[in-house]
Amino acid sequence: MPLSAIINGETIIGPDLSEKEWADLAAQHKKGLAITMACCGAPGHLRRSKRGTQHFYHAVDTGCGYAEESLEHLELKYLIYRTCKDAGWETHVEFPAPDRSWVADVLAEKDGRKVAFEIQISALSPDQLAERDRNYRDAGIESYWLLDEYLGRAHDFASSYESWLREGDPRPGERVPYLDESVFETGTENHVFITRRIRTAGLHAKKQEVFTTNNPAIPAEVFAREVLAGNYRKYLEETAAAFEHTRKLRARAAPALFRFREFYHAIVRDRTYRKRADRALRILKNGKLPANDLRKKSGEICSELEWLETEYRLYISDPYGLFAWKRIPGKERPVLVFRPGPASQVKKLDECVKRFDRWESSFSHAMDVLERRIADGKSR
């Protein structure tokens, strides 16, 4: 239901009239003064809502979308309109684009900044939202969408956030090991802003409350003031920048983390290197290698393996600063997680992996030589 109508060629905003002016208008309307709905040109009437909000309604059903708007929508529109006006902004309700491609619920202007508030009570898909938001962007208007049933739609927004998060992963479809994904957990307003640059907030229309990740419920007028002060925009932009930064680190660290897991398998879980060395040394013991030579060879291999195991334990230890043991809900035992931290962390991780890589190739080389010697011995 609209707050505004056209009377004698002028746009009148119902709540702006005093009680006396409203009563006079009602009397004149009774005597035949025409009220035209600004939205569709249909004839209209005037009345007051239960809360006393002066507004207009369609006298006939023209199929106009504004006739469908709920009372909750009307009251919220008025509340935000009032708040913007009181904050000293030049404010319009039901403000149409020059070509009527969009109509803003509330449009507030000050010092060259144009802010639109859209109250959306009925369902809207992420694509519809993006399409409607583009209109505002094209018109140079900073738009804010208050979405009722926010949580019901949260899943749609979260799934595009998920794919955004995994963009650039070195092994698509495979989870990057040692990453504490809880650092990427956040609310819908950030999901929508990060993936689509659309500013939204959750709305409890009946309670006239708005909610976000960090604010479970604040009065809609408080939210509107935060928007006008630029604080909400700042919050969204700063959060998005921080997430973008962490996501980049994640992508940078991913190859090394995959490699690190391979080392875990080879060193700890499957003991691949040790088994290979043991096998060779066992054969040598039974073979013809002189005792001194054998002692030297096995001593070298054992100390190399010990070095490797010690290094590995060092890298995953808490004081080393690369990894931490973290309790994660749903997991019985603490799990090893990589600490994303500053970019230098990733460099440090890369260096560890490189050290292991170098060790691995020198170990492989030494083992190749040894195994060849065993084979030669056998064939001799």
Binding interface with Zn ion (CB under 5 A): 37, 39-40, 64, 66
Q: Could you tell me the smallest distance in angstroms from the CB atom of residue 83 to Zn ion?
A: 25
Nearest distance in Å: CB 25, Zn ion: 19
Smallest separation, CB 63 to Zn ion (Å): 9
- The least CB distance from residue 125 to Zn ion, in Å, is 24
Nearer to Zn ion, 121 or 308 (CB): 121
Q: Is residue 370 within 8 Å of 304, Cβ to Cβ?
A: no
User: In this complex, which beta carbon is closest to Zn ion, that of residue 47 or of residue 248?
Assistant: 47
Query: 57 or 81, CB closer to Zn ion?
Result: 57
Rank residues 62 and 208 by Cβ distance to Zn ion and give the closer one: 62
CB of 160 to Zn ion, least distance (A): 34
Q: C-beta of 61: minimal distance to Zn ion in Å?
A: 10
CB 102 within 8 A of CB 135: yes
* Cβ-based nearer residue to Zn ion, 66 or 315: 66
Residue nearest Zn ion, CB atom distance? 64
Minimum CB distance to Zn ion smaller for 37 or for 119? 37
